[in-house]
Structure 1
Amino acid sequence: MTDWSAVVWGFVAGIVAGLVAFLVPVIGHIGAGLIAGFVAGYLAGGGLGSGLWHGLLAGALGGLVLVLVTAPIAGLLGGVLGGPIGGLFGGLSVVVAGLVIAFVFALDSAVGGAIGAVLAD
């Protein structure tokens, strides 16, 4: 069963770590995903599989929120600069790229979740 409080706390930890990650761009964002997953996995406990699952959810949630925030902005900017077609393609391209980013965030968060859950038990 999914411990949603662990997932939400992992998500919050990932957001905070992601904001700090702008100081060290590539390593920082990978680390933010690992931290998000670690927190979710550690709080959920339950072994390797549970940690993977909770870390995956925390990372994916962070990526999906990123998509929901940036896609409308890109659609509006594309609409202003490129007309209706520009708005459509601007918004859709951000959604597709964002979903790929959400998948990548979820993968490293799953690894962090597995580590956190193993250390919690």
Structure 2
Amino acid sequence: MTNWRAVGIGFVLIFLLSLLGVSAPVLGQLTAGLVGGFAAGYIAGGGLGSGFWHGLLAGALGGLIGGLILGLAVGVAGFAFGPGGGLISSAVGASIFLAATVIAFVMALESALAGALGGVLGE
């Protein structure tokens, strides 16, 4: 059974650390996924499989929601330049969301591995 509290805490950690990680682009995002996934797995406990599952959910949520926010922000910002700018920025925003979805899967995998470690240590 999924412990949504653990997933939520892991997601919040990933989201907040990702915002801070903007200053160190590669290391910041990687660290955010590892810390959030570990926290989700540790809080959920239950061993390797449970930690893996909770870390995976926290990482996927963090990546998808972050990508959605970024894509919407770019899409809406283009409307300041009129209809043509809105059309172009909407296409760019959709592209950003698709790229962020791919990145979310990578982030989910690293979070899942860290969550598996956290699940083992949280028992």
TM-score (norm 1): 0.88
Shift of 1:81: 7.0
Q: Which residue of 1 aligns with 2:70?
A: 70
* Per-residue deviation, residues 31-70 of structure 1 (Å, max 9, x unmatched): 1100000000000011111111100100111112112211
Pair 1:94–1:22, CA change in 2 (3 A): closer
Measure, in 2, the Cα distance between the counterparts of 1:54 and 1:81: 43
CA RMSD of aligned residues (A): 1.8
Measure, in 1, the Cα distance between the counterparts of 2:92 and 2:112: 30
Identity %: 50
Equivalent pairs, count: 121
Runs of 4+ in structure 1 off by over 4 angstroms are none
Shift of 1:22: 3.0
Cα pair 1:78 1:91 within 8 Å, conserved: no
Structure 1 residue runs without a partner (length 5+): none
Measure, in 1, the Cα distance between the counterparts of 2:89 and 2:23: 31
Shift of 1:82: 7.5
Query: 66-75 or 17-26, which moves further after superposition?
Result: 17-26
Q: Which residue of 2 aligns with 1:4?
A: 4
TM-score (norm 2): 0.87
Structure 2 residue runs without a partner (length 5+): none
